[in-house]
Structure 1
Amino acid sequence: MTEHYDTLETRDPASREADLFARLPGVLRKALEAPAYAERLKGVDPAAVTSRAALARLPVLRKSELPALHKAAPPFGGFVKASPGSFARLFTSPGPIFEPEGAQADPWRGARALHAVGFRPGDVVLNTFSYHLTPGGFIFDASARALGCAVIPAGPGNTEAQFELIEAYRPVGYSGTPDFLKILLDAAAAANRDVSSIRRALVSGAAFPKSLQEEIKSRGVDAYQAFGTADLGLIAFETPAREGMTVNEDLIMEIVRPGTGDPVAEGDVGEIVVTSLDPHHPWIRLAIGDLTAALPGKSPCGRTNMRIRGWMGRADQTTKVKGMFVRPEQVAEIGKRHPELGRLRLVVSRAGESDVMTLRAECARASDQLRERLESSIRAVIKLGGSVELVSSNSLPNDGKVIVDERNQ
């Protein structure tokens, strides 16, 4: 195998875009066979959805909606036509959300992520993600086996037994959380056990700050990050370039303004929305609740797909003010009523013993009239009073936050 998993990774971006959107109408037709999509996408002509602009007109399905939808129409909320028995494995995640694993090879699309960071056929991989009910362990297990690796299905914990396996099988790779990798290395050093065969790692499921990256590197392990969910599998992954994360093939990623389905300007922070081209279990504009931003240009490693900055926080910034929920969708609605504004940021704080809201709004030309109109919009949309602070254009942080709660700071 070469430096790249296949030629799809290095194709011209325009060719990739054309391929994705040529395949999308067929996937939409399959999605419409499921009753929930048939209702949600009523009136949509799949043949007309052949561009990002057309896709952006379809409704967003928020992951936060799935627990209630799955409870109302078990097990998959009506978004999957196939019966549970047609899948290979069946999982649950907190919510609960119920996730099926496809019967096809590499159902979670993770083989190319492992390949990107140096895993190769014939490698032995220690997989410490959990195999119990949730899909994490099987996501990385299936991906490594699709690549041609042998997998030790260790799961987390029980370090003494893991040392025996490591010393016997001499795995070169590790997959699991970065936290458990450090626990394993620390415990091995304390017990004088040999885990030196582990030279590379693909980590996910927890923060991997610079300090921990440097410590793991100092122990002789070259560790890279992957970003994924139990619904979609591997969404994006680091490469040897170490410049952001490359979006996986067969996915269409959009970055939208939190609380909306509207794509942000290039480089702005927003919520990740993913459409998967898996006809067995399609996801159409699934908003996963995580923030990121796109990076310009192509990766020095030669991969040409979209790159993101990685996980940058949560998009669901809903908070309570005076006992009432205030949501990003409401801030977005205020913005739609005043298209002359730039970014908006609703700051919630305390004055004495009362909650107060201040809407900071970017504008090119401040006026008392604009401020008064905005105060009226706040009351009309949020049903609470709030003050307005007009600020200059491009002065608010590009961090995707539209509601900031300062009450506990």
Structure 2
Amino acid sequence: MNDRSRHYDAAETRDPHLREAALMEALAAQVATAQTRSAFFGALLKDVDPNAITSRAALAQLPVTRKSDLLEIQPKNLPFGGLNGAAPGQMARIFMSPGPIYDPEGRRPNYWRFARALFAAGFRAGEIVHNCFSYHLTPAGSMVESGAHALGCAVVPGGVGQTDLQLRAIADIRPHGYGGTPSFLKILVDKAREEGVDISSLKKALVSGEAFLPSQRAEMKAAGILARQCYGTADLGLVAYESEAEEGLIADEDLIIEILRPGTPDPVEHEGEVGEVVVTLLESDYPLIRFATGDLSAVLPGISPCGRTNTRLRGWLGRADQVTKIRGMFVHPVQVSAAVKKHPGIARARLVVDRAGDSDDMLLEVEVADGGALSQEALLEDVRASTKLRCRLALLAPGSLPADAKTIDDRRPVG
């Protein structure tokens, strides 16, 4: 890698045909690795000849493993359900995402491959990153930190919350950029303006974990911060990232992306058609094969004007299931149901997710049965304990919610 280059490495500008040939060659080896090192994939792929899996058509014949299924798979062989290719004790860290779902981090540098996304966002060796992703149980903080270290950057491990202390650290340390959710970056910018704190050292940002709206991008530019987004998951690490072209998200070099018709193992028929993002990760410690994220997206035609030649995604276009990401955290319907079931006075409930300005908003709508008793404070605390997020509460008369109402109704705009 050359810091003076516009690209992280030569792989980003390869001829697409050469990249595809290299990925397909690596695919056969990865299937063999998964069969021999992972108990789960060893059983799932026991009748597969890895030497025959050298094309996307062959890959499309393999079974899909869905992220939503991990809630059932992992408890049968904790902590990872046998999907891991290395023993738990050989990992560097073990994370616990809401669900709970357990995610491993291997020991090699830049394990989550976030250095590429940080480079595209403008970070270079010798700079300081103020990292406001969570370091507590979930892996986002480690994703950015390990990528920043691989680039040669120092990291301020800010984590989430404690706005006043964060501003003090930024004013004193003078970091060059920010990593975290776009909504928390806005909170910092607004609070700094309100209190007259100088955070002008922040010139760049890598944001993720929630939608990055055009209005937020424009507001950050007005504040002197050039923010770019990336897409990743706790299971896969970096999936795709934005470059200076700001035209879609460019796929990472170390994985194979498919867009499938939601709920099926079949690729969409036409490029540009919206479908579920499914990833095969070329990684031995956690060798995921056809891992369905539950996220919807579509492929953009052509290559990026920035010169990077890999596949581009349009960005996050919604969910293929009711699992949704709120304020950077995945929330599953079973988490909401588990909290509600502790309160027998509730006849029916629905969690409505929407936008309140530039932030995600959660409203739990509940019907209280005739004559039923309900402790609103206890219910809100149970939801917070289950989802790790706070929400508002609306009490509705019996019969207000439709009988087939979703447990989670995501009304946020997509695109």
Residue of 101, 107, 111 corresponding to 1:103: 107
Task: State whether residues 206 and 228 of structure 2, in contact with CA within 8 Å, keep that contact through their aligned partners in structure 1.
Answer: yes
1:14 aligns with 2:8: no
| Alignment partners' CA distance in 2, 1:192 and 1:106 | 37
SS at match of 1:316: coil
Residue of 305, 309, 312 corresponding to 1:304: 309
| Alignment partners' CA distance in 2, 1:355 and 1:102 | 45
Task: State whether residues 296 and 320 of structure 2, in contact with CA within 8 Å, keep that contact through their aligned partners in structure 1.
Answer: yes
| Alignment partners' CA distance in 1, 2:298 and 2:190 | 35
Residue of 294, 297, 301 corresponding to 1:292: 297
| Identity across the alignment (%) | 54
SS at match of 1:189: helix
- The aligned residue for residue 47 of structure 1 is 51
| Alignment partners' CA distance in 2, 1:317 and 1:205 | 17
TM-score for the superposition, normalised by structure 2: 0.76
- The aligned residue for residue 371 of structure 1 is none
| Alignment partners' CA distance in 1, 2:322 and 2:265 | 16
| Alignment partners' CA distance in 2, 1:37 and 1:250 | 19
| Alignment partners' CA distance in 2, 1:405 and 1:289 | 14
TM-score for the superposition, normalised by structure 1: 0.77
Residue of 278, 282, 286 corresponding to 1:281: 286
Residues 33-57 of structure 1, C-alpha deviations (whole Å, 9 max, x = no match): 2221111112100000000000000
Task: Give the deviation of 1:82 after TM superposition.
Answer: 2.0
- The aligned residue for residue 379 of structure 2 is none
| Alignment partners' CA distance in 2, 1:256 and 1:98 | 25
1:177 aligns with 2:181: yes
Structure 1: tracts of 5 or more residues without a match: 324-352, 357-403
Aligned partner letter, 1:138: S
Task: State whether residues 85 and 287 of structure 2, in contact with CA within 8 Å, keep that contact through their aligned partners in structure 1.
Answer: no
1:187 aligns with 2:191: yes
| Alignment partners' CA distance in 1, 2:403 and 2:169 | 56
| Alignment partners' CA distance in 2, 1:317 and 1:163 | 36
- The aligned residue for residue 27 of structure 1 is 30
Task: Give the deviation of 1:190 after TM superposition.
Answer: 1.1
Task: Give the deviation of 1:73 after TM superposition.
Answer: 1.0
SS at match of 2:136: coil
| Alignment partners' CA distance in 2, 1:25 and 1:233 | 21
SS at match of 1:284: coil
Residues 374-393 of structure 1, C-alpha deviations (whole Å, 9 max, x = no match): xxxxxxxxxxxxxxxxxxxx
RMSD: 2.1
Return closer, same or farther for 1:199/1:24 CA change in 2, 3 Å cut-off: same
- The aligned residue for residue 400 of structure 1 is none
- The aligned residue for residue 257 of structure 1 is 261
- The aligned residue for residue 209 of structure 2 is 205
1:214 aligns with 2:249: no
| Alignment partners' CA distance in 1, 2:191 and 2:410 | 40
Aligned partner letter, 1:306: T
- The aligned residue for residue 139 of structure 1 is 143
Residues 124-169 of structure 1, C-alpha deviations (whole Å, 9 max, x = no match): 0000001001101101111111111100000011122112211221
Structure 1 stretches of 4+ with a deviation exceeding 2 A read 353-356
| Alignment partners' CA distance in 1, 2:271 and 2:46 | 30
Return closer, same or farther for 1:152/1:38 CA change in 2, 3 Å cut-off: same
Of the structure 1 ranges 204-213 and 303-312, higher mean CA displacement relative to structure 2 is found in 204-213
- The aligned residue for residue 235 of structure 2 is 231
1:149 aligns with 2:157: no
SS at match of 1:303: coil
Structure 2: tracts of 5 or more residues without a match: 324-332, 334-347, 349-400
Return closer, same or farther for 1:59/1:121 CA change in 2, 3 Å cut-off: same
- The aligned residue for residue 361 of structure 2 is none
| Alignment partners' CA distance in 2, 1:115 and 1:189 | 28
| Alignment partners' CA distance in 2, 1:283 and 1:64 | 14
Residue of 164, 169, 177 corresponding to 1:160: 164
Task: State whether residues 86 and 284 of structure 2, in contact with CA within 8 Å, keep that contact through their aligned partners in structure 1.
Answer: no
Larger Rg: 1
Q: How many residues are aligned here?
A: 328
| Alignment partners' CA distance in 2, 1:244 and 1:184 | 26
| Alignment partners' CA distance in 2, 1:223 and 1:22 | 35
- The aligned residue for residue 359 of structure 1 is none
Residue of 277, 292, 301 corresponding to 1:272: 277
Residues 173-197 of structure 1, C-alpha deviations (whole Å, 9 max, x = no match): 1000000000001111111110000
| Alignment partners' CA distance in 2, 1:317 and 1:171 | 38
SS at match of 1:271: strand
SS at match of 2:216: helix
